[in-house]
Amino acid sequence: MSVDSKTVKKIASLARIHMDDAEVEALVPELNNILGWVEQLGEVDVSGVEPMTAVIPNTLRMRDDIVDADPLTAGGVRDKVLANAPVAEHGFFGVPKVIE
Amino acid sequence: MTESTYRIQGATGDWEVVIGLEVHAQITSNAKLFSGASTEFGAEPNTQVSLVDAAMPGMLPVPNQECVRQAVRTGLALNAEIHKYSRFDRKNYFYADLPQGYQISQLYHPIVGEGVIEVALDEKDPDSEVRQIGVERIHIEQDAGKLMHDQHPTMSYVDLNRSGVALMEIVSRPDMRSPVEAGAYVKKLRSILRYVGSCDGNMEQGSMRADVNVSVRKPGEEFGTRTETKNVNSVRFVQQVIEIEANRQVDVLEAGGEIVQETRLYDPDRNETRSMRSKEDAHDYRYFPDPDLLPLELTDDFIADCKASLPELPDAKRKRYESELGLTAYNAAVLTAEAETARAFEVLLKETAAKQGKADTEVATQVANWSLSIAPGVQKALEVTADHENNTPAANAAILAMVSGGSVSGGQAKEIYEIVLKTGRDAEEIADTEGLKQTSDTGAIEAEIEKILETNADKVEQYKAGKDKLFGFFVGQTMKAMKGKANPQIVNELLRKKLD
């Protein structure tokens, strides 16, 4: 698998990253280099081997259904949430008008 | 025309409509899917947003076990396969209501696999056609925030209170063929979710919304290209979208055009769907497994607990009401369509049976008729709802016991119930003090009958000579003499004895 400049431009646009043509041209061989390494990994026969999701065997931890149990992941922090917003009015974020 | 042959009549002949629905149901939980912030509806903007929900750098999602449990219970209620191994993926797109820049969802390994919903086209008609609608999968995902466009001339406002609330996406097979069928599917699904308690089914508040996939084809041909109309939030709108979209597609095809696979938006004010051009890249979500979350692995014990916690579901309940309680198919269907109706019925049934010292089966029909027609009629006239504070099971059971015992007539029962609702007074006390009782005192009734027969000797002769209709006259006279308070059954019996 490899990418051309058109694909790179599309990915950049989907990720909302601006790139000029020179940057795109520079990135094409870089990305293809990475894809080449990944393809090389594909040469190893892993049939019958379970995919590994973590180096240390671990299970997903879950939380109890309790509101604001841990202050670090609790609500009620509107000022903090809005602190970095370029525009905040009446408790809302203000963004350029997006309407269908 | 029956529903199985719903067709759009085009210039080139009949077209069949093929419908699939993706229903997004908000999972009932106190806290959000990956944070401790509250899910309560209607709070001040951005007051129920944690740093996780606002996607602040370094925050990690930790799943809420209750949301997982509710999704599994829902899957079990649809007889679906529960996947002991599932995992979360990132669905990448940019929008102002999505602070993460991706939605955590489950594309490759959803938590619930194939199931089925049995749908009667008219749930209140026991003889209506029944369809099996396939459910392809259910997965868990995060909801996005809410945008408001009409508060400021040049800006949209963003409220993230809904951001991160847990949703189940319930994806049907393209098994539906008419708007009525799709409407019945949504209603049945909502009923099941409410029974299970995994979603409140409140479409007005957006707890349930549907993406409607529609395509058309000539009967027997391959599926046509489909369009997807997003975020349709009522059963009526789902049906309208299908009609408009199917007709639009037929017009396009018959004019020699092609259907583009695209996302559309429904505008209820204009009753039309239109293309959402901004979502052109919408299908380029670049999904990949979320590296912040390990796979979700369920134990057999967890699934067994979920199963054990399921209540009796509407189909089973309906069948039991018919077979065990001896209710009519219509009554059983109406009483079980909504969980709240069934719950109220069962409470009153227990109360009534206890009050009268009878078995459930002996009073079931009385309670069903009272609950479905008499009580709602009185409530409607008084403009109160069933959850009115004076509408207690004890009061209802007391009235029904008096009716069964013969001390109160059907009409008097309604009057007593009306006073109960208005004042909260005791039903038996009302019957006594307001004179809302009929007498079954045979002596008193007999005395009146004697007098009436004496003063109307001529009519007695005519009756005995064969003028049967006069029986009604004697009943009327007796009731009048008793000021309407005589038990009509006893009046009838006594008159027959005297005259025949």
Rounded to the nearest 5 degrees, what angle is found at the Cα of B310, between the Cα atoms of A68 and B204?
A: 60
Distances (CA, A) of B106 to A65, B125, B167, B169: 21, 38, 11, 10
Taking a C-beta distance cutoff of 8 angstroms, is the pair B30, B37 a contact? no
pLDDT, one tens digit per residue, over A11-64 is 998 888 999 999 999 999 999 999 999 999 989 999 999 877 778 878 899 999
Contact: B154, A97; criterion CB under 8 Å: yes
Beta bridge partners of B130: B120
Contact: B294, A89; criterion CB under 8 Å: no
Contact: B37, A69; criterion CB under 8 Å: no
Contact: A14, B284; criterion CB under 8 Å: yes
Complex prediction ipTM: 0.90
Q: Residue B284 has what pLDDT?
A: 85
Residue A62, token pair as written in the block: 């879950």
CA proximity to B197, closest of B205, B210, B207, B206: B207
pLDDT at B281 over 70: no
Q: Residue B1 has what pLDDT?
A: 38
Q: Residue A100 has what pLDDT?
A: 59
pLDDT at B38 over 90: yes
Q: In angstroms, rounded to a whole number, what is the distance separating the alpha carbons of residues B127 and B481?
A: 47
> Which chain B residue has the Cα nearest residue A84?
B56
- Segment 147-166 of chain B within 8 Å of chain A by CB: 147-149, 151-152, 154-160
Q: Residue B146 has what pLDDT?
A: 94
pLDDT classification of B495: cutoffs 50, 70, 90: confident
pLDDT classification of B278: cutoffs 50, 70, 90: low
Contacts of B296 in chain A (CB under 8 A): 60
pLDDT at A2 over 90: no
Contacts of A14 in chain B (CB under 8 A): 92, 281, 284, 286
Q: Which of B99-108, B125-134, B136-145 has the lowest mean pLDDT?
A: B125-134
pLDDT at B373 over 70: yes
Q: What is the mean pLDDT of residues B138-164?
A: 95
pLDDT at B374 over 80: yes
Q: Residue B430 has what pLDDT?
A: 92
pLDDT classification of B122: cutoffs 50, 70, 90: confident
Cα B273 versus chain centre, distance:
27
Contact: A78, B49; criterion CB under 8 Å: yes
Contact: B48, A90; criterion CB under 8 Å: no
A49 CB within 8 Å of a chain B CB: no
pLDDT, one tens digit per residue, over B168-187 is 999 999 999 999 999 999 99
Contact: B67, A65; criterion CB under 8 Å: yes
Q: Residue B434 has what pLDDT?
A: 86
Distances (CA, A) of B418 to B376, B428, B431: 11, 13, 12
Taking a C-beta distance cutoff of 8 angstroms, is the pair B296, B83 a contact? no
Contact: B65, A66; criterion CB under 8 Å: no
pLDDT, one tens digit per residue, over B59-115 is 999 999 999 999 999 999 999 999 999 999 999 998 899 999 999 999 999 999 999
Q: In angstroms, rounded to a whole number, what is the distance separating the alpha carbons of residues B147 and A21?
A: 35
Contact: A66, B45; criterion CB under 8 Å: no
Q: Residue B445 has what pLDDT?
A: 85
pLDDT at B285 over 80: yes
Q: In angstroms, rounded to a whole number, what is the distance separating the alpha carbons of residues A24 and B219?
A: 50
Nearest to B65 among A16, A64, A72 (CB): A64
Nearest to B50 among A64, A74, A98 (CB): A74
Q: What sign does the CA torsion over B3, B4, B10, B14 have?
A: negative
Taking a C-beta distance cutoff of 8 angstroms, is the pair B29, B65 a contact? no
Nearest to A95 among B31, B156, B281 (CB): B156
Q: How far is A79 from chain B (nearest CA, A)?
A: 9
A66 CB within 8 Å of a chain B CB: yes
Candidate CATH numbers 3.10.310.10, 1.10.10.60, 1.10.10.410, 3.30.530.20; the one for domain B442-499: 1.10.10.410
> Which chain A residue has the Cα nearest residue B147?
A98
pLDDT at B119 over 90: yes
Q: How far is A10 from chain B (nearest CA, A)?
A: 10
Contacts of B140 in chain A (CB under 8 A): none
Q: Residue B3 has what pLDDT?
A: 46
pLDDT, one tens digit per residue, over A57-99 is 788 999 999 999 999 999 999 999 999 999 999 999 999 998 7
Q: Residue B68 has what pLDDT?
A: 98
Q: Residue B310 has what pLDDT?
A: 97
Domain boundaries, chain B: 6-306, 312-433, 442-499
Q: What is the mean pLDDT of residues B23-40?
A: 98
Mutate to test the interface with B, among A9, A97, A99 (most CBs of B within 10 A): A97
Percent share of chain B, pLDDT over 90: 74
A14 CB within 8 Å of a chain B CB: yes
Distances (CA, A) of B346 to B44, B119, B188, B351, B385: 39, 24, 21, 9, 18
Most confident listed range (B258-262, B316-320, B448-452, B483-487): B316-320
SS (H, E, C) B314-338: HHHHHHHHHHCCCCCHHHHHHHHHC
Type of residue at B159: D
Q: What is the mean pLDDT of residues B276-283?
A: 63
Per-residue DSSP letter, B82: B
Query: For all residues of chain B together, what is the average pLDDT?
Result: 92
